[in-house]
Structure 1
Amino acid sequence: MEDLTNRTLTIEKTFEAPLELVWKAWTTSEHIAKWWVPQGAELTVLEHNFEVGGQWKYAMPMPDGSQFISEGTYKEIVEFKKIVTTADFKPMTANVELIAEFEGDVETTKFKFSVIHETPEYCKQQEEMGFYNGWGSAFDRLNTHLESLV
């Protein structure tokens, strides 16, 4: 098995929310639209076909009037445990794989989010571009959204 360590960036969090709710927040359009982007940004879900082989596509308007497009294809879905999808975040990030892993119960959910890049150099570049701040901000919004629902 290939060692992906030098091509992977990972964030781990624990949400004070039931596993079922965290899963729903990751898998349904109405929830995704509330947290997927950084604070102060808006998101339009253009497509969300949550099944293996299904496509997803989200748009975030940019200050210059252009659209920041996030899109991908679901590769693996294990209900309440794991989501694997390809992802392109145009124009900043291309051809990565996202892995969201969930473990929890009726009170808390441990969450692990990994992004696998094509090369170690590309991984380092993405980290320097603000991977942890960007995704960290989105996951903070997810946490706030979950708190409003619990």
Structure 2
Amino acid sequence: MTDITPEVTDRDVYITRSFNAPRELVWKFWTQPEHLASWFGPTETTTPVETISISLEEGGSWNLAMRDNATGDLYPMNTRFVTIREPEYLEMIIDSADTNGLGTLERLRLRVTFHDHGDKTRITLHQGPFTDEQKQQTATGWEQSFVKLDAIFAGAAS
């Protein structure tokens, strides 16, 4: 696949991460509601499967709501697919209401590339632009989410 990732700026989150699972399985955990619900969101949240709707086509939606475990508050994300190249690339535009006091996110771009390494998958995630505070919270949220995903894949291997 040709590298289509645009330049990373200081207002973007850029993460490269490997998972102990084949690319097709990692893809499913991003594109199927029952799998996405099992890992998406920072440690202090859950993403109930009933809040997730995915229409996996360009122009389709990837919508969900994270629930704050302490308060029960919901933080919805309304997302539109721009580009889909199964199972190697997703690009989305996110619009969401106030995200835990950090303000509304509008026209936020999320790009995820899934690199095939046999029994492992490396992803590159590029998301932005953010304010400094939003950037830090988003990076932390992704890292916490990926720890959950690692645990799921570790359990599947045992």
In the alignment, structure 1 residue 112 sits paired with structure 2 residue 112: no
- What SS does the aligned partner of 1:14 have? strand
- The offset of 1:53, in angstroms, is 0.7
What amino acid is the match of 2:155?
Answer: S
Are 1:125 and 2:136 matched, yes or no? no
Q: CA deviation at 1:104?
A: 1.2
* 1:90 aligned onto 2:97: yes
**Aligned with residue 46 of structure 2, among 42, 45, 66:** 42
- 2:63 maps to 57
The separation in 2 between residues aligned to 1:70 and 1:59, in whole angstroms, is 6
Paired residues of 2:47 and 2:67 also in contact (CA < 8 A): yes
Describe the superposition over 1:65-124 as per-residue Cα deviations: whole angstroms up to 9, x where unpaired.
43111221011001121100011343125121110111113311111111021xxxx442
Letter in 1 for 2:110: L
Measure the CA separation in 1 of the matches of 2:7 and 2:34: 36
SS in 2 for 1:113: strand
CA distance 1:148–1:89, change in 2 (3 Å): farther
Cα root mean square deviation, aligned? 2.0
Task: Give the C-alpha shift of residue 140 in structure 1.
Answer: 1.0
How far is 1:146 from its partner? Answer: 2.2
Matched, 1:12 2:7: no
TM-score between the two structures when normalised by the length of structure 2: 0.80
Aligned residues: 144
Gaps of 5+ in 2: 1-5
Kept after mapping to 1: 8 A contact 2:78/2:94: yes
- Tell me how far apart the structure 2 counterparts of residues 116 and 132 of structure 1 sit (CA, whole Å): 11
Greater helix content = 1
Structure 2 residue corresponding to 1:100, chosen from 101, 107, 112: 112
| Residue aligned with 2:149, SS | helix
> Residue 39 of structure 1: CA displacement?
2.6
Percent sequence identity is 26
- Structure 1 runs of 4+ aligned residues shifted over 6 Å read none
How far off is 1:4 after superposition?
4.6
